[in-house]
């Protein structure tokens, strides 16, 4: 199984993240949206992505949250290196 994780980001990642957050807020009027992705070494089970969405009704909040996470995963240039007990590793997200 996976024994360690490390996240790396392109220098443009913060700007892209800000654009994704702003775009999601525009597309979901009446919501307040925030997101942050951790970079560097994390223990297995640690939170890598944190998002918060506030809205008057949960349906709108959940829709905005789902859209936000999908867009972050698809657009923000952040890559995950998974390390395994046998010493092997693999990169995830290199196509973002």
Q: Return the pLDDT at 93.
A: 75
How many structural domains comprise the chain?
Answer: 1
Q: Answer whether residue 62 is part of any domain.
A: yes
Q: Answer whether residue 45 is part of any domain.
A: yes
Q: Answer whether residue 27 is part of any domain.
A: yes
Q: Return the pLDDT at 19.
A: 98
Q: Return the pLDDT at 96.
A: 52
Three-state DSSP at 43 gives coil
Q: Answer whether residue 25 is part of any domain.
A: yes
Tell me what percent of the chain is helix, strand and coil, each rounded to the nearest 5: 35, 35, 30
Instruction: Read off the pTM.
Output: 0.88
**From the first residue on, what is the mean pLDDT of each consecutive set of 10 residues in the chain (96 residues)?**
95 98 97 98 96 97 98 96 95 75
Using DSSP, how many helices (H) and how many strands (E) does the chain show?
2, 6
Q: Answer whether residue 68 is part of any domain.
A: yes
Q: Answer whether residue 52 is part of any domain.
A: yes
Nearest-angstrom CA–CA distance, 53 and 62 = 8
Q: Which domain holds residue 10?
A: 2-91
Residue 50's CATH number:
3.90.1170.40
Q: Answer whether residue 21 is part of any domain.
A: yes
Q: Return the pLDDT at 94.
A: 75
Q: Answer whether residue 96 is part of any domain.
A: no
């Amino acid at each position: 199984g996976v024994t360690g994780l490390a996240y790396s980001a392109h220098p443009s990642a913060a700007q892209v993240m800000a654009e994704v957050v702003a775009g999601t807020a525009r597309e979901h009027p009446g919501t307040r949206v925030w997101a942050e992705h951790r970079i560097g070494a994390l223990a297995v089970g640690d939170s890598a992505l944190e998002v918060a969405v506030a809205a008057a009704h949960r349906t709108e909040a959940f829709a905005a949250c789902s859209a936000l996470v999908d867009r972050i995963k698809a657009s923000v240039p952040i890559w995950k290196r998974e390390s395994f007990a046998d010493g092997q590793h693999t990169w995830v997200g290199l196509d973002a």
